[in-house]
Chains A and B, each alone.
Chain A
Amino acid sequence: MKTSALDDLFDRHPISRPFVSWGVTVISVLLCLMVLPTRLPGMELAGIGPNWLLIWVVAWSVKRTMFQGAMAGLILGLLQDGMTSPFPTHAVSLVLVGVLTARLQKQRYIEEDFISVALIVFGMAVLAETVTAIQFSLQGGRSLVEIWTYHQFIALSSAILSSLWAPIVYFPLNRWWERMGLVDSV
């Protein structure tokens, strides 16, 4: 079996354990980054796709401390800046998403299932787009009316799509982190 082969490897070479567990984590981030520019049929609504990095940050922060959530948000935000345009930065909204998700302490109030993760992602997607809209408003250059009309349109589409696709990122990653013992008990 595959799992026992992995355990076997860890038993023989304990040093490989962090490399494998962090390697899978990094690859999952890269996969999310590579899916961002695609608009596959079924994954788009009026030209808007799910916000994969936001789903990743929520999946990461759900069972972690606020500092860890903020760090993940910062790193993924900078990466997204590299993919699009650095001004205004995406790091602000993703850091906020990481901190707030960790602050929710889901396991204390809500039972773990994909409905609750989808709900968190829905709320966080609306929040993230709102933060970006505020950044654009402060930055100037675009007219306020246009920014906020556009915000209504994309906040809703992005929130619906992201929450529907959230389990695809959340469940495999969460299983992996639990198995590798990477999730701290908060």
Chain B
Amino acid sequence: MYALQRWWERYGIQSVLVGVALGTALFVRQTQGGVLLETYQLLTRPFHGKPTQQDRLINAQTQELQQRLIELESRNQRLEELLGFVSAKKVKGVTAPVIGRSADHWWQQVILGRGSQDGIRVGSIVLSPGGLVGRVSSVTSDASQVLLLSDPSSRVGVTISRSRYMGFMRGKSANRAVMEFFEKVPDVRRGDVVSTSPFSQLFPAGIPIGRIESVDLNKSPAPEAIIELSAPINYLEWATVYPNSANLGDPQLTAPSAPIPASAPSPEATP
């Protein structure tokens, strides 16, 4: 008993301190750094940029519009063959400043300065002028963390807009990604536009991603191509967050759909 008391006098405070520190660290880890993320957002608030650097983004935006056009043209061609009811709805996005990058070197992430208070949820889609950027992986009330497309762990189903050949894409750091095709001999060449495919579970179909930079058809087990991402991921300052819904394919270009007359027969009603 006396020995215990003496040990406590000598090491008591130290062990309590270590225990408290360990407990805090574990808590932070379990809550995925929610407290830290919020503090970071608060501390960096005076340094958040204002949307004034439009000039730099105009170039990327023109590129995005061109890619959207190609995507729409080839999709339109297919839709003309099919007769069906297509609803086009304008989806409103949340514009958020990029306030930080990944806290280590192995993950390609950014931190956005808007959170669940502005309607951002885990799984929301993040776009920027230029195309798809990534997906929200965790969110607190005023900040959210985005896993970028360029992270090796993010995989997306993609398609070549011109020839509709499918494949999947995984990130390769910086602003490059590798696309693996499902077919053995895909119709693909340098400069082709790549967008998300209808098979993608995490992203809506038809969002522009980038261009094919080089093709390696002899690669086994499947042919591969290097994609140059069109969104300026390395100097991203602003991004727009959309809820993950199927009719997001072209959020800016779709016109509000004309109201359907009540007397018109709906597709379900026809025998």
Residues of A at the B interface (CB closer than 8 Å) are 18, 22, 30, 33-34, 36-39, 47-49, 51, 71, 74-86, 90, 129, 132, 136, 141-142, 146, 150, 154, 158
Find out whether the CB atom of A22 lies under 8 angstroms from the CB atom of B25. Answer: no
- Which of A71, A79, A136, A141: most chain B CB closer than 10 A? A79
Find out whether the CB atom of B109 lies under 8 angstroms from the CB atom of A84. Answer: yes
Min CB distance, B215 to chain A, in Å?
19
The A contact surface, by secondary structure, is helix
A-B contact count (CB 8 A): 91
On whether A82 and B234 interact (CB within 8 A), knowing A37-B101, A90-B104, A150-B173, the answer reads no
> Can you name 5 A-B pairs with beta carbons within 8 Å?
A48-B105, A75-B25, A78-B22, A79-B33, A150-B106
Find out whether the CB atom of A82 lies under 8 angstroms from the CB atom of B105. Answer: no
Residues of B at the A interface (CB closer than 8 Å) are 13, 17-18, 21-22, 24-26, 28-33, 36-37, 39-40, 43-44, 99-107, 109, 111, 152-153, 172-174, 234
> Hey, which chain B residues are within 8 Å of A51, CB to CB?
104-105
Find out whether the CB atom of B102 lies under 8 angstroms from the CB atom of A78. Answer: no
Q: Residue B153 contacts which of A77, A129, A142 (CB distance < 8 angstroms)?
A: A142
> Hey, which chain B residues are within 8 Å of A83, CB to CB?
33, 36-37, 103-104
On whether A84 and B25 interact (CB within 8 A), knowing A22-B17, A34-B43, the answer reads no
Find out whether the CB atom of A47 lies under 8 angstroms from the CB atom of B174. Answer: yes
4 closest cross-chain pairs (CB), A and B: A37-B100, A82-B33, A78-B25, A83-B103
Find out whether the CB atom of A38 lies under 8 angstroms from the CB atom of B153. Answer: no
Find out whether the CB atom of A82 lies under 8 angstroms from the CB atom of B22. Answer: no
On whether A81 and B29 interact (CB within 8 A), knowing A37-B100, A142-B152, A146-B172, the answer reads yes
Report the nearest B residue to A132, measured CB to CB.
B106
> Hey, which chain B residues are within 8 Å of A85, CB to CB?
107
Report the nearest A residue to B155, measured CB to CB.
A141
Q: Residue A37 contacts which of B102, B106, B173 (CB distance < 8 angstroms)?
A: B102
CA distance A78 to B21 in the complex (A): 10
